[in-house]
Amino acid sequence: MIITGGERLSGDVHISGAKNAALPILVSSLLTEGWNTYHNVPDLVDIKTIKNLLGILGADIKDDGPLQINTSGMNRCEASYDLVKTMRASILVLGPLVARTGEARVSLPGGCAIGARPVNLHIKALQDLGAEVDLKDGYIEAKAKRLKGTTIYFDISTVTGTENIMMAACLAQGMSCLKNAAREPEVVNLAETLNHMGARIFGAGSDEIIVEGVERLHPAETTLIPDRIEAGTFMIAAGLTGGDVRILGCDPSHLDALISKLRDSGVEITVFDGGVHVRSGRTLTSVDIKTLPYPGFPTDLQAQMMACLTCGSGLSVITETVFENRFMHVGELMRMGADIHVQGNSAIVKGVKRLRGAQVMATDLRASASLILAGLVAEGRTELSRVYHIDRGYQEIEKKFSALGADIRRVPA
Ligand code: EPU
């Protein structure tokens, strides 16, 4: 991707459906027979991967209109290493497969560019629900005649862990109580979907979720929430470039932490129903950021906010508490002239007058977004390689930025 910096963004941008809501929600089709219908599904590589996995498990998929999935013909209960290593969220099939078929064989995901990211809490919770779990040849092998509802305590708030176990508990015998559950809006969207399918889930969005197990679920129709991370990325871009941008089709109530931080740094934000209007002068005041589970500041916006603060008016301290290795973008931002010093899980960012375009490399999805943002304000030309990371989670990002006046294009490698 080639970006020539210096353009002030202006205009309207429409936000797509949320990747991290779509993944568990499409997987929830495994819990029932018949055609489920999904609206507002984003067109992303990760969505193709999950559809591919569901196809391998025997699902029928129609996507000429709203996406439809029918898992009546399911004939396998395995997620291979080849799939799981390309997308960790494939682990989401573990709970539903055990609940529906009584068994599952799912590859352990292995390491990751942003941290160790173990799945021990998914496994422990499934064992709490009565599954027998063995780790063999790099695979999780789980079996249960019927899962039994119980109280589950998550040591750490885990998003996909909560989703996995919430899905499994829907078909368990009796009641489950998930304590220290993740409160992310994507968890709520999944719970609403499951309830449309006949599940009995209460308390999603709080840290205690009650699931009353039912005998069976039925197919349903659901609409995905807008992607709060995509929306946040455009908000930061507008703030950073001194822009005037309306971000439409998002849910501002999912973005309170970011709105507060951007306002603290001098960005003017007007919230309206279904969108936000972001206006800013070019120089932003430095602010400190600490990533936390929702409703705290999202780790998925940390890299983008760091790009923004590299041009702030003073010192910002950015502390990453969710993942232990999510500063891979720092070295790349420094190649563009940023002044950043990493100490443990904090990055001290000293605002510089300007960034300079350079050749940089994306290391993960959100790091790619941060480098695009840096490129938008850098002097001269930035060449971003390994952009396949960005296609996992942002739909047509260069088209959306171009429409706002950015000079950005994709060229063949
Ligand atoms: N953790 C464990 N054991 C587990 C599960 C998690 O130690 O069994 C730790 C993780 O290593 C991490 C922390 O708990 O330190 C929180 O991880 P979490 O499980 O919440 O992350 P996740 O479910 O794997 C989802 C998103 C990520 C997002 C995180 C945090 C999906 C598909 N992925 O991952 O999204 O960063 O929550 O909000 O929902 C992205 O979209 O770029 C992305 C990485």
Lateral strand order in the sheet of 208-212: 151-153, 175-179, 208-212, 200-202
Mean pLDDT along residues 331-355: 97
State yes or no: pLDDT of 233 exceeds 70: yes
Mean pLDDT along residues 229-239: 98
pTM over 0.95: yes
Ligand 1 pocket: which of 23, 123, 127, 160 to mutate (most atoms <8 Å of CB)?
160
Residue nearest to atom 40 of ligand 1 (CA): 300
Q: What is the DSSP code (8-state) at residue 286?
A: P
**What does the mean pLDDT of the chain come to?**
96
Mean pLDDT along residues 185-196: 98
Q: Mind listing the pLDDT tens digit for each residue in 64-107? A: 999 999 999 999 999 999 999 999 999 999 999 999 999 999 99
State yes or no: pLDDT of 163 exceeds 70: yes
Residue 111 confidence (pLDDT): 67
Angle at 14 between CA 12 and CA 20, to 5 degrees: 145
Angle at 375 between CA 314 and CA 2, to 5 degrees: 170
Q: Mind listing the pLDDT tens digit for each residue in 166-184? A: 999 999 999 999 999 999 9
The three-state secondary structure class of 402 is: helix
Residues 6+ apart with CB under 8 A from 231: 15, 247, 250, 254, 255, 276
Q: Mind listing the pLDDT tens digit for each residue in 235-252? A: 999 999 999 999 999 999
158 CB under 6 A from ligand 1?
yes
State yes or no: pLDDT of 116 exceeds 80: no
Residue nearest to atom 17 of ligand 1 (CA): 158
119 CB under 6 A from ligand 1?
yes
Q: Mind listing the pLDDT tens digit for each residue in 361-376? A: 999 999 999 999 999 9
Tell me, in angstroms, the distance from the centre of ligand 1 to residue 413's CA: 31
161 CB under 6 A from ligand 1?
yes
Residue 325 confidence (pLDDT): 84
Rounded Cα–Cα distance for residues 409 and 69 (Å): 34
271 CB under 6 A from ligand 1?
no
The three-state secondary structure class of 405 is: coil
Write out the catalytic residue numbers: 112
Residue nearest to atom 2 of ligand 1 (CA): 118
State yes or no: pLDDT of 17 exceeds 80: yes
